[in-house]
């Protein structure tokens, strides 16, 4: 999915200390380790190591991945573990969380309790909260901008977003909560105005906006200038307001995250590859918006892959959505269809399209049809006496 292409912020107060230190060779769990940097040598905090060891945390794993955490003079191992226990996490879960996010032990208990209260605004109960922390410990222990985060949560709730959607934002799109509340409000206003200016109705605007945000919350990280530039670009390319609105909805808002120059390059390549007019190109783009966001190199690779399988340019042009599939997926699906005697070289490519689930369901129907007997041997025969 497109919306998974995005960043996670790093946990709390050591943003200024991100230099990775080389991990020492494995030794006894509680041995004293010395880390050498350009400026000084520093030993591990022995008390921290002992407390983590008592919690059955894999110290070697922390040394390998986040060794610098063990150098900190001030840590809160027991306090953080207690907070997790209070939420209902068992000892195994506590150890797992601290192994995967050792930075948790340098977050102040006060900040973590505040974070707990914030996340409980969108979680049904503590059991659900613990599950989220187990899955996304780094997101939970990112304890900066908490007041701003609270205001954004309340704003999203006022917009009408469901708590389950907001909790997903907290875990996989936490950057949007670092936006000042005014910035997010401004972006929402711009999206609403753009929707109405493109011919959308006031009555459908809320539903459209909530769906857009739930599919791609990262649209809030855009600038108003980028949105204006993208809309103007498509208008200059001859797309109507209705067509731009179609693309915006189909691409789940990622339209505004595309560079006009890159889009222009991809469209020029497609026009030459399919030898079509500007009008025909527009129709292709509306059928397959992937033509806009795939780079020239990706499009070229996929077209060449299809041609090698014996598929013609005319067939691709008739069913451009096939370009959303990688060459490997195309080869796999063609082999499966060929096993049923369903050649696609001279036919329509619709059987090749769709998500994995859609393809497998369609393949199952074709398979069942191929195996079906020509007549039902147990059906009664109409015989005149």
Q: Is 150 helix (H, G, I), strand (E, B) or coil?
A: helix
**Interval 51-77 mean pLDDT:** 93
207 contacts: CB under 8 Å, gap ≥ 6: none
Residues 272-304: tens digit of each pLDDT: 999 999 999 999 999 999 899 899 999 999 999
pLDDT of residue 310: 87
Task: Look up the pTM and report it.
Answer: 0.75
What number of CA atoms fall less than 13 Å from residue 229's CA on the CB side? Answer: 12
- Domains annotated on the chain, with CATH: 44-143 (no CATH), 259-370 (1.25.70.10)
- In this prediction, residue 374 has a pLDDT band, given cuts at 50, 70 and 90, of low
Torsion sign across C-alpha atoms 321, 323, 326, 327: positive
DSSP state of 57: -
Which ranges of 275-355 would DSSP assign to H, the alpha helix?
A: 278-287, 290-293, 296-308, 313-318, 327-339
State phi, psi for 236 to the nearest 5 degrees: -65, -25
From the CB of residue 73, how many other CB atoms can be counted at a distance below 10 Å? 9
Span 204-224, pLDDT tens digits: 999 999 999 999 999 999 888
Three-class SS of residue 36?
strand
Give 76-102 pLDDT, tens digit per residue: 999 999 999 999 999 999 999 999 999
**What is the helix (H) or strand (E) element at residue 190, kind and residue range?**
helix 181-197
Could you tell me the two tokens for 250?
A: 């189909």
pLDDT more than 70, % of the chain: 85
């Amino acid at each position: 999915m497109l919306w998974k292409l995005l960043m996670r912020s790093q946990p709390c107060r050591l943003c200024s200390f991100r230099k990775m230190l080389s991990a020492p060779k494995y030794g006894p769990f509680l041995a004293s380790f010395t880390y050498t940097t350009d400026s000084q040598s520093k030993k591990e905090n022995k008390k921290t190591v002992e407390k983590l060891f008592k919690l059955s945390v894999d110290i070697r794993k922390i040394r390998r991945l986040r060794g610098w955490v063990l150098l900190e003079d001030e840590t809160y191992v027991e306090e953080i573990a207690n907070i997790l226990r209070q939420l209902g996490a068992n000892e195994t879960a506590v150890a797992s969380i601290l192994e995967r996010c050792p930075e948790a032990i340098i977050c102040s208990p006060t900040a973590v309790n505040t974070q707990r209260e914030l996340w409980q605004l969108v979680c049904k109960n503590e059991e659900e909260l613990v599950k989220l922390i187990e899955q996304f410990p780094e997101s939970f222990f990112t304890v900066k901008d908490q007041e701003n985060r609270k205001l954004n949560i309340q704003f999203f709730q006022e917009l009408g977003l469901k708590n389950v959607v907001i909790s997903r934002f907290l875990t996989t799109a936490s950057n949007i909560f670092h936006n000042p509340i005014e910035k997010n409000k401004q972006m929402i206003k711009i999206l609403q105005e753009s929707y109405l200016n493109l011919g959308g109705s006031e009555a459908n605007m809320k539903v459209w906006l909530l769906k857009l945000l739930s599919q791609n919350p990262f649209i809030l990280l855009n600038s108003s200038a980028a949105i204006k530039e993208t809309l103007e670009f498509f208008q200059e390319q001859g797309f109507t307001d209705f067509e731009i609105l179609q693309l915006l909805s189909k691409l789940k808002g990622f339209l505004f995250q595309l560079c006009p120059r890159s889009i222009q390059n991809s469209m020029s390549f497609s026009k030459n590859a399919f030898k079509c007019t500007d009008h025909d190109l527009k129709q292709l783009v509306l059928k397959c918006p992937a033509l806009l966001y795939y780079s020239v190199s990706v499009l070229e690779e996929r077209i060449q892959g299809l041609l090698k399988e014996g598929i013609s340019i005319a067939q691709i042009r008739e069913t451009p959505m096939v370009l959303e599939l990688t060459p490997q997926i195309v080869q796999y699906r063609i082999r499966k269809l060929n096993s049923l005697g369903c050649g696609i070289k001279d036919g329509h490519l619709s059987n090749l399209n769709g998500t994995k689930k859609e393809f497998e369901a369609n393949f199952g129907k074709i398979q069942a049809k191929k195996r079906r007997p020509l007549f039902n041997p147990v059906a009664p025969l109409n015989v005149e006496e």
